[in-house]
Amino acid sequence: MFNRDYETMSSKERVKRTFGFEKCDRVPINYFANPTIHMKFAKAIGINDGDYEKVLDIIGVDFRGIGAGYNGPALFKQIDGLNVDPVYGFYTKLIYNESGYYHDFCNFPLQDADDDIIANFPVPNPDDFDYSNIENALDFYKDKSVHIGGAGTSDIINSTGRVMGMEETLVRLYNQDEAVLTYLDRRLSMELGVLERIMNKAKGKVDFLWLGEDLGTQIAPMISLDLYRKVFKPRHQKFIDFAKSYNLPIMIHTCGSSSWVYDDFIEMGINAVDTLQPEAKNMSPRYLKENFGGKLCFHGCISTAGVLTDGSANDVENTVKETIEIFRELNCYMLSPTHQIQDNTPVENVIAMYEAAHKYGRY
């Protein structure tokens, strides 16, 4: 089903060369899926128990993430019927729908809170995370491209919105509210502290740092470039400088219409951009190639809100083929869905995506 006889490189080498705009045996491949569609896909390719690692190996996923779980004291109140995140303190409720389920954010603890509560909202100590399995994980993934961080690392808007509500978050960021900025800096300092402790255990075996900040709606920026430069840029730069101190490339997740900030990303030292929703304004593969080709690598572009959910398997195959062809000459593309593959996605479309990745992704 997923013919990989042609492969001549390890995942580690393949992704490293792509970050360097060097030709590989094929485009690197990634995979994210909600639990319901993941189980359907896994069973369709013969993994009846849904074992995630087996699925990744079969379809040729090149990326693996490592991290440290929180094992410190409980910082946030438990509420019956809700889940609370032990690190960030946001609450979610399990909501079922006709396709599966999702976790809806609710009970925002910092909504309408006074400045003292906001500035001093609990933030874990980086020492209260479990780093004991880092070396074992790196040994297990020795041939894979291993990243630290993820789509939420260094994030300001979403991570604050989950505890404050999105409207109040955006207003307070626009006003450069002192209490919010104090809380942000404490939280981001914790994240940097965790990353630093992971790198101290990693002994040079990590391949890149993954950051994130959703900056656009489908049709326009979510904030102004001026606000990005005043509030976001100096805080993101700390993470970039940290990665550069270890000679790590950096990829940043940016949902929505986000290319308006990519020139700043390039100047800051970011190497790759992730998500790349092609239906959003100025985010099509061709636009990205024409405006940023040779300056950034691209990870994503296969839409979880478009062709994967609404198209046929043939549409998916053609989209994958076209996307790869647009970027082929630049040796800069990493194939991935734009987000978690959604539960209402036909399983045959998921199969078509990864079959096409191997069929058309060879260099």
pLDDT at 80: 96
Q: Which helix (H) or strand (E) holds 146?
A: strand 145-149
Which pLDDT value is given to residue 72? 98
The CA distances from residue 349 to 134, 161, 212, 319, 320, in Å, are 35, 33, 27, 11, 11
Rounded to an integer, the average pLDDT of 82-86 is 98
Average pLDDT over residues 58-81: 98
pLDDT digits (tens, 9 = 90+) for 133-152: 999 999 999 999 999 999 99
Contact 111, 94 (CB under 8 A): no
The per-residue pLDDT for 1 is 86
CB 117 within 8 A of CB 174: no
Residues 230, 235: Cα–Cα separation, whole Å? 9
Q: How much is the pLDDT for 149?
A: 98
CB 256 within 8 A of CB 280: yes
How high is the mean pLDDT of the chain? Answer: 98
Q: What pLDDT score was predicted for residue 88? A: 98
Q: Is the pLDDT of residue 77 over 90?
A: yes
Q: Count other Cβ atoms within 10 Å, centred on residue 143.
A: 13
Tell me what the mean pLDDT of segment 91-104 comes to.
94
How many Cβ atoms sit within 10 Å of the Cβ of residue 344? 16
Band of the pLDDT at 164, cuts 50, 70, 90?
A: very high
Task: Give mean pLDDT, residues 228-251.
Answer: 98
Determine whether domain 11-73+125-156+165-360 maps to CATH 3.30.465.10. no
Share of the chain above pLDDT 70, in %: 100
The pTM (predicted TM-score) of the whole model is 0.97
Per-residue confidence band for 188, with pLDDT thresholds at 50, 70 and 90: very high
**Which amino acid is present at 114?**
D
Residue 188, number of CB atoms within 10 A of its CB: 20
CB atoms within 10 A of CB 67: 18
Q: What is the pLDDT of residue 208?
A: 98
Q: What is the pLDDT of residues 272-323, one digit of tens each?
A: 999 999 999 999 999 999 999 999 999 999 999 999 999 999 999 999 999 9
Give the pLDDT of residue 199: 98
Residue 43 pLDDT greater than 90, yes or no: yes
